[in-house]
Amino acid sequence: MDEKKAIQRIEKLREQLEDYGYHYYVLDQPLVSDAEYDQLMQELIKLEDQFPHLKTEHSPTVRVGGEPLPHFEKVQHEIPMLSLGNAFSEDDLRDFDRRVRQGIEADCTYTCELKIDGLAVSLRYKEGKFVRGATRGDGTTGEDITTNLKTVRSIPLTLKEAVDIEVRGEVFMPKRSFETLNQAKEAAGEEKFANPRNAAAGSLRQLDPKIAAKRNLDIFLYSIGQINNDEITAHYEAIQYLHRLGFKVNDETKHCESIEEVIDYVNSWVERRSGLPYEIDGIVIKVDSLPYQEELGFTAKSPRWAIAYKFPAEEVVTKLEGIELSVGRTGVVTPTALLSPVAVAGTTVKRASLHNEDLIREKDIKIGDSVVIKKAGDIIPEVVNVLAELRTGDEEDFAMPTHCPECESELVRLEGEVALRCINPKCPAQIREGLIHFVSRNAMNIDGLGEKVIAQLFEKGLVQDVADLYKLEREQLLTLERMGEKSVENLLQAIEATKDNSLEKLLFGLGIRFVGAKAAKTLAMHFETVEQLQQASFDELVAINEIGEKMADSVVSYFEKPEVEELIEELRRLGIHLTYKGPKQPDPETIDSSFASKTFVLTGKLEQMNRNDAKAEIESLGGKVTGSVSKNTDVLVAGEDAGSKLAKAEKLGVEVWDEARLVTELQR
């Protein structure tokens, strides 16, 4: 076959295979037999092998997986992928409805979706072509898994419209695929996956795409992250639009007129969820109106316009064989129940936290008891209660120790606390746990430096504080178990990369008592450098919104310690970045009156600057930028081809600027 005929045949085969794949994997309406589909695919593979320059990254043949990857690149989400708040009862749902109606001062409708138990991903398309896929990660930063996502056959490589769009969905492993995979693992003598969610996540994080291609993963898309389309004004409408573009959406999604209809929908799935061919762990409820979503906004962790109803936790009975003690990074001694292994909500549970001595007494827990176990929120195992009627008389009482199980220092109970605490700053357990916290995802995020590696480093005396992590050498790391040349090289690169982190990552990683990730960012944004924070007084700290007296006192006390001053100086010498790199807070004295305390909406195409730059400029001058026009909008900036937002702004009497006016005001 000459090249001209090959081009024609390749184009025809690709068109056929995409159409057949869409009907089979998305619509569940096969048009041809598996044998016929495979025959056409093999023909296309041979033609692309014969004419390799004709192969494209959007060909159906990429579904079989390419060459192994060296590692996954980090991806910054332009719009964060936030987690959802949880509801566990009908009262929780009614409270959510009440908060929503108070927030928008109106009634609203909801969209209900099955909460698929898988891995959240972001898919980006340019002119209708799939260009990048990423994991959710920590919500702000994920991993580029584009190559593996191309093997998921229900993800379209080319959309039915040439649009620029970012969409979000949940990749999952169907129950049948999970069972088949675990049967194969068992036959090969390998450890089985605990549940379909872990199997899906593990498959997408394979560096060899061919392995991911064999796992028969699937996806449901559930939202639009970014799109330049003012015509879509409701979430349910957005789901329908995704379906028209060729995405697979869940047929069980329902639009509900009231919270009572939502509750009926939720209750209908409590019993029948087991009949689905995939796992779900709840129902997601979203305010349907996109303008209302914009008006309600977000907390630091989750949207105010959505909530996840979690199904009642499965409860099982097992035996409590013993109680183990562990010391955390703050010195708190926590008892943990050691259980006879039992399957709960898809995983095998061997341990459950008992929290503190008071809880053990309150529930009258004895070693040897038969106990009821559940997973709180389907995640954290806990002891619900003791089955005292099953006691034989051989059970043993448990008493908390008087001295630290790690360093033998006397334990204390601080005023107002129920926990026993080791206050020895040299306690090995606290140092080890502090190191684990420092490298964790929300702190410095050192990829490849997990608990087991930290434990080895500590046991070998290679690290005693967080500064030592930045002094590690190749030869030292090669002495650790399961650390070869490539692993060591990757780890050293990961450690070096975190030197450039913004200040809030370091502040959270240092483990200052009462300072969580959100407070760390607030402090970093306000003071901008660690030097200024070190010099801050109690009064300066409590004057900051969201910084209370306990936290302020803790921060002052922390930085007064000589050893902390030495640690900060050591980190500085090692080249660690000690300044805030994020967007700055606007200075009230320099805020322009044209922007201060005003709400702006940008619509249409801007010629002189992109929307992100315009948004940053407006916010730096004290303004707020939202995505939808409402009664609270002060100014609409209308670029070329402004659509429905302009019409709505004119109807509401909102002030309208063109781009020239915006630029003039910004340059004043």
- Here the tokens at position 447 are 């990829």
State the sign of the Cα–Cα–Cα–Cα dihedral 559, 563, 569, 570. negative
d(CA 582, CA 502): 7
- Here the tokens at position 656 are 């309208």
Burial of 318 (0-12, 13-18, 19+ CB in 10 A): buried
Q: Residue 145: which residues within 8 A CB-CB, separation 6 or more?
A: 72, 121, 133, 134, 135, 204, 205
553-560's contacts with Cβ under 8 Å and 24+ in sequence apart are 554/512, 554/513, 554/514, 554/515, 555/512, 555/515, 555/523, 558/510, 558/512, 558/513, 559/533, 559/534
Torsion of CA 487, 489, 493, 495, to 10 degrees: 60
d(CA 62, CA 151): 7
Encode 58-78: b = buried (16+ Cβ within 10 Å), e = exposed: bbbbbbebbeebeebeebebe
Is residue 300 a contact partner of residue 378, using CB atoms and an 8 Å limit? no
Is residue 356 a contact partner of residue 326, using CB atoms and an 8 Å limit? no
Q: For residue 533, count other CB atoms closer than 10 A to its CB.
A: 22
Is residue 548 a contact partner of residue 499, using CB atoms and an 8 Å limit? no
3-state helix, strand, coil in the chain (%, to 5): 40, 20, 40
Is residue 319 a contact partner of residue 373, using CB atoms and an 8 Å limit? no
Q: Residue 454: which residues within 8 A CB-CB, separation 6 or more?
A: 432, 435, 436, 439, 463
Active site residues: 115
Rounded to 5°, the CA angle 310-312-316 comes to 135
Q: Which of 634, 551, 617, 537 is nearest to 583 (CA)?
A: 617
- Here the tokens at position 633 are 């909008």
* Length reported for the chain: 668
Is residue 622 a contact partner of residue 594, using CB atoms and an 8 Å limit? no
